[in-house]
Structure 1
């Protein structure tokens, strides 16, 4: 993988960045208030927002002017749960044995660009060894993609959702030996600390644990608890030493409860969340990232013979269908919700469909848009994105119409700017 960036250098050339760019927006979504404002001019300089001016402002000579008539401008969206190194298909399980990391790296380049052009200027990649390298290639300007906050290898317990040897036969298991903290598999408090420190050594930005079984892993249970509270606390406490936040994949109630008690920043999926857990999350300030898209996708694909292995299929049917209902209940209960799709389960670039599913679950359109902007920035622990304000990153997208009035407009993004660089603009 160390040579991947060099291999990919010729795949993309970034567009030149103008010194000053003015965006004339017919409407502007204010992510702090959740309101759509009238006409504004957004002046961009050196990758940041220099001014936000009501109305159509007069510009200095030489300013590049982009007129977004009929459009609403918004802060670039953040998807807090993606896997850019893969994409679900009936071949996914065999490809892990046939393909090398470099094969997944080349695929990830296209997935990253699709994600960016769909309006997602930042993502949190929650599990995948390719992601830190892809992040670096994007940051170096070698390929086009969103800003990546990468977890690297997820941390699991033996036989857990992110144990990389699940499904191996006895010969392979004996040959490779049991995975340990270096490979992200732990069985004690001491292992937990070592696994976090290894992620730091590997260059991760965030820690991901699999607090319960999962839908797509080659294992029977999709909801059994897989960490003790003490192990979770050891991970969270060690992560704090390195400035890391911890995201916890969790479907089952007991594993979810242990993760919240252990101090994780966010619960991902949360399928079997109970009223008790919702109250506990509110008490602890724990975020919920529902990933409704993934639930609906796997429930749908489980109806197709041969799409999933038979050990996976019943989990996909049972668990996937519940997530949207849980998300609606969590919203009504006042749990803090942020945006994530688990994309990589579904096709990259279709991330915005999650907004539609969130509104179907009972969330207002403005709330869903805030979940992918200012709230997502809070989850990440950053204060330079998620809003269109002077001094913030010039991550700005635009789409025809008003997404608060018609959430379906989120599927029509035709202008994308990241760090002041335009990657997509409307066809004249």
Structure 2
């Protein structure tokens, strides 16, 4: 590390120490990467007050309060805090709650150290997730903000899963894991899920297209989002998209649209895939254009797919981006509890390297789009009035996404960590 870098690091450290109890911080002379891909990065300054971005200025600021702590970020880069749009923090063995919380607390701390300030949890034990969320909100543990889902599926799915898991009550009977048999089940089930604190309903498996549509419509009526797998089985991906869900997870699932018939049987479909089902590009494009028309986000989980030898995920995601489908960065992968590299970085690098997204588009997928798919309008960009969830980076992320592995500083709700 040269003398200039040492000096900058010391200045940042000094500013960070003094800023801990300050409600006003000025991050001066950084290259600001807004979070929206079509906004050109520029050198400017970010003023933080009371946990929010007070202003973003691209000209010298005047009238800065004397009590404002100024951090010279010359040569640094500021982005919004990252968001992993597909995690599972509440699916571990909960027999020993104390142990489960200790492990999850460590995972959450590692998420935050690596710049992940918000997560969308795609279904787990709601009381456990609510407790984790509360601990973070109250400052008892360090971690990202958590927004979680209830998982709805047909009774056949829960029967297949053995109607229970160690450490939990029977699956399919709780507000967060609910078996849906008919339309009559939907309204009260969604009300129960809402009371459990969920942000969205995860539409998972063994549901007809009529029930998918009913769940989606009722979720929206009750102020919740509808997040679905790409294929619900026996329902096909086009059935899911035409139900107006807010997002579809797993790009690889979209290949099942090309299987003949009005419905698909899960075992036969996966058997075809592993025998080498060739991607029909015409069917793929029809599917993606439907998603674009309806504003449906794609949660491709490319890292997950690559680890399971599903090459179609990257091909579909590349085409989705070309056609203008909005993409989010989610992993559906296990996060380490120690201070180790995170799978979200792998996902981001694959979005760039295999799926053709520019680094600005990757950053948008991991910031702004993650916020939008979760219904959050208060974060995801570096703009006045938004939450001050920010990263200060040493290296230009437009040249190397690896810089996200070790942010110089993480700022969450105006507090430098």
Flag whether TM exceeds 0.5 (same fold): yes
Q: Is the CA contact 2:115–2:410 (under 8 Å) kept in the aligned structure 1?
A: yes
Go from structure 1 to structure 2 and tell me whether the alpha carbon gap of 1:252 and 1:322 turns closer, same or farther (over 3 Å shift): farther
Q: Residues 344-382 of structure 1: CA distance to partner in whole angstroms, max 9, x if unpaired?
A: 378883322221110111111111111222222222223
1:71 aligned residue? 76
Go from structure 1 to structure 2 and tell me whether the alpha carbon gap of 1:241 and 1:264 turns closer, same or farther (over 3 Å shift): same
Stretch of structure 1 that moved more, 376-385 or 353-362? 376-385
- 1:13-412 pair list within 5 angstroms: 16-54=20-58, 57=61, 59-85=64-90, 96=93, 99-129=95-125, 130-151=128-149, 153-160=150-157, 163=158, 166-167=161-162, 179-180=172-173, 182=175, 183-211=177-205, 226-251=206-231, 254-273=235-254, 274-297=284-307, 299=308, 317=309, 320-344=310-334, 349-360=342-353, 361-412=355-406
Q: Residues 47-76 of structure 1: CA distance to partner in whole angstroms, max 9, x if unpaired?
A: 111121225646432322223343210111
Unaligned runs of 5+ in 2: 1-18, 255-283
Q: Is the CA contact 2:44–2:58 (under 8 Å) kept in the aligned structure 1?
A: yes
Q: In structure 2, what is the Cα distance between the partners aligned to 1:107 and 1:54?
A: 43
The two structures have a TM-score, normalised by structure 2, of: 0.78
How far is the alpha carbon of 1:36 from its aligned partner? 4.9
Q: Is the CA contact 2:336–2:342 (under 8 Å) kept in the aligned structure 1?
A: no
Q: In structure 2, what is the Cα distance between the partners aligned to 1:25 and 1:208?
A: 42
Q: Is the CA contact 2:394–2:407 (under 8 Å) kept in the aligned structure 1?
A: yes
How far is the alpha carbon of 1:33 from its aligned partner? 5.0
The alignment partner of 2:151 has SS state of coil
How far is the alpha carbon of 1:421 from its aligned partner? 0.9
Q: In structure 2, what is the Cα distance between the partners aligned to 1:289 and 1:252?
A: 15
* Runs of 4+ in structure 1 over 6 Å off: 345-348
Unaligned runs of 5+ in 1: 1-14, 87-94, 212-225, 300-316, 424-428
Go from structure 1 to structure 2 and tell me whether the alpha carbon gap of 1:322 and 1:38 turns closer, same or farther (over 3 Å shift): same
The alignment partner of 1:131 has SS state of helix
The alignment partner of 1:197 has SS state of helix
How far is the alpha carbon of 1:283 from its aligned partner? 2.2
Q: In structure 1, what is the Cα distance between the partners aligned to 2:327 and 2:79?
A: 19
Q: In structure 2, what is the Cα distance between the partners aligned to 1:47 and 1:239?
A: 31
Q: Is the CA contact 1:79–1:341 (under 8 Å) kept in the aligned structure 2?
A: yes
Q: In structure 2, what is the Cα distance between the partners aligned to 1:83 and 1:374?
A: 21
Q: In structure 1, what is the Cα distance between the partners aligned to 2:30 and 2:20?
A: 25
Q: Is the CA contact 1:118–1:352 (under 8 Å) kept in the aligned structure 2?
A: no
Q: In structure 2, what is the Cα distance between the partners aligned to 1:351 and 1:340?
A: 7
Aligned alpha-carbon RMSD (Å): 2.8
1:414 aligned residue? 408
Q: Is the CA contact 1:25–1:73 (under 8 Å) kept in the aligned structure 2?
A: no
Instruction: Report the count of equivalent residues.
Output: 359
Q: In structure 2, what is the Cα distance between the partners aligned to 1:285 and 1:397?
A: 28
The two structures have a TM-score, normalised by structure 1, of: 0.76
Q: In structure 1, what is the Cα distance between the partners aligned to 2:225 and 2:245?
A: 7
The alignment partner of 1:275 has SS state of helix
How far is the alpha carbon of 1:290 from its aligned partner? 0.8
Q: In structure 2, what is the Cα distance between the partners aligned to 1:396 and 1:178?
A: 38
The alignment partner of 2:120 has SS state of strand
